[in-house]
Amino acid sequence: MAHNLNFNDHTGKYSFFSVKEKAWHGLGQIVEDYPTSEEAIKHAGLDYEVIKAPLFTQGRAMSIGNEGEIIEPDNILLPNNFATLRTDTNTALGVVGKDYHIVQNSEAFSFFDAIVGGGDGILYETAGALGNGERIFITAKLPDYIRVGNGDDVTEKYIFLTTSHDGSGSITAAFTPIRIVCQNTLNASLRSMSNVVRIKHTAGAKQRLEDAHKVMGLANRISIELEGIFNQWAKVRVNDKEVKRLIQLALCPNKETLEHLQKGNEDEISTVFKNTVEDAFAYAMLSDTQQMETTKGTLFGAYNAVTGYYQNVRSYKDSEAKVQSIVMGGTAQGKAQKAFELCTAFAVDGAEIFCLN
């Protein structure tokens, strides 16, 4: 699988680290113990700062001087535009406006430390830089777990943060619970709250980043609610036909396909969609990770079939695309959310939801 990890010519290392498990694509640094934020920054090759520098353009644009002489400058200053540069390699990362506020890599880590107070309990698991260092990401594990059933089915609680230094998008932190037994990312936005916090790169971004942990307190509320919901789903029995129908409705790509499903027009449904459904259904039925007491023949298992398909079966062009799809609001996260909503409805109304448009 392709990667877009930054390679630092000065250090001769890829900008990535992972704790214990094999690092991304076998590149980067593998460490045995969870590092402090200061150690994680160095392990991940993120110990560089970014500055805004004046931006010039070369040209032959002419102007008239005080004495009427023609001036042909070699460089023209662009007053409202700046280049962002990483100071260790002097590499240009992007072009930003005058109001763009740089959030340094160290400030991104301090966001995590603030969540649990001084870093106690926060576990930095992965971090790295993409491209020339214009985008960074951090994954940190929060204390405690989401437990389903008798406690053997455990979901760890993570916060994934990504930010850029090239002006492309906001600082984004997402709560991402991951089921240990099969590494499924069980993302779900509840009706009353979102699992994502976005912060703009403006003059007040640093202060809002420091205050964001107050908003991320939602992660605790979400995890408590999810634990109750998942435990309820683990007690709701579903048959194979119902599981397949849930998968069809969750993965349905458009209104036209939905209409064919509702009318039973199997011949009108695309082969690509049929194959996708079969792959997800096979994951639900055949995967050993789905045959635990909490998942086998349960509504919780049906939900895991959709999330697990995108996490462990589906192919992506590269790992950056996979993260975008699963964690950062892409297709996989959208389908997982649809599955969550369908399972919520099924828990109340049963198979009657299959008659809904």
* Residue type for position 135: R
For 12, the domain range is 7-48+101-223
Inside any domain, residue 93: no
Q: Is residue 211 domain-shared with residue 309, that is, in the same domain?
A: no
Domain total of the chain: 2
User: How far, in Å, CA of 277 to CA of 46, rounded?
Assistant: 41
Q: Are residues 219 and 238 in the same domain?
A: no
Predicted confidence (pLDDT) at residue 110 exceeds the cutoff of 90: no
Q: Is residue 218 one of the residues assigned to a domain? A: yes
Cα–Cα dist 304/290, whole Å? 8
Q: What is the pLDDT of residue 66?
A: 53
**Pairwise pLDDT comparison (43 vs 186), residue with the higher score:** 43
* 64: in domain: no
Domain assignment of residue 96, yes or no: no
Pick the range with the lowest mean pLDDT from 20-29, 64-73, 348-357.
Answer: 64-73
pLDDT at 1 over 50: no
Residue 261 shares a structural domain with residue 192: no
Residue ranges of E strands in 40-150: 50-58, 63-64, 70-71, 75-86, 91-97, 123-130, 135-148
> 80 in a domain, yes or no?
no
CB neighbour list of residue 14: distance below 8 Å, 6 or more residues apart? 5, 6, 7, 8, 27, 28, 45, 128
Number of other residues whose CB lies within 10 A of the CB of residue 219: 23
From 188, 203, 223, the end of a domain falls on 223
Q: Which of 30-34, 106-110, 212-216 has the lowest mean pLDDT?
A: 212-216
Task: Tell whether 324 and 253 lie within a shared domain.
Answer: yes
Tell me whether residue 59 is in a domain: no
Question: 13, 45 in Cβ contact below 8 A?
Answer: yes
Same domain, 246 and 344: yes
- 106: nearest Cα among 52, 164, 160, 48: 48
Phi and psi at 176, nearest 5°, equal -135, 90
**pLDDT at residue 214, as a whole number:** 67
Tell me the per-residue pLDDT of 24-41, one tens digit each, with 9 for 90 and over. Answer: 556 678 888 889 888 999
Q: Are both 165 and 250 inside the same structural domain?
A: no
Tokens of 130: 């993409």
110 Cβ contact list (under 8 Å, min separation 6): 37, 209, 210
Mean of pLDDT values over 38-57: 90
What percent of the chain stands above pLDDT 70?
Answer: 85
The verdict on 171 and 23 lying in the same domain is: yes
* Mean pLDDT calculated for residue range 35-64: 81
Asked if 153 and 179 touch (Cβ cutoff 8 Å), the reply is yes
Joined together, the tokens standing for residue 220 give 């605790």
> Does residue 298 share a domain with residue 275?
yes
Same domain, 252 and 151: no
Residues 138 and 195 in one domain: yes
- Determine, yes or no, domain membership for 195: yes
For residue 150, the tally of other CB atoms under 10 A from its CB is 9
H helix intervals, 188-298: 205-215, 218-233, 240-251, 255-263, 271-286
Higher pLDDT, 67 or 10: 10
pLDDT digits (tens, 9 = 90+) for 76-100: 767 888 999 999 999 999 999 888 8
Whether 247 maps to a domain, the answer reads yes
- Which tens digits make up the pLDDT trace of 304-314? 888 888 888 88
Of 199, 223, 247, the last residue of a domain is 223
Same domain (yes/no): 202, 274: no
Q: Is the pLDDT of residue 285 over 80?
A: yes
Average pLDDT over all residues of the chain: 82
pLDDT at 168 over 70: yes
Domain boundary among 223, 258, 285: 223
Residue 119 reports pLDDT greater than 70: no
Question: CA neighbours within 13 Å on the CB side: how many for 288?
Answer: 1
pLDDT at position 357, please? 44
Q: Which residues contact 202 (CB under 8 A, 6 or more apart)?
A: 99, 100, 101
Same domain, 252 and 330: yes
Beta bridge partners of 173: 161, 197
What is the distance of C-alpha 258 from the center of its chain? Answer: 28
Query: According to the model, what pLDDT value does residue 26 have?
Result: 67
Token digits for 61? 């644009």
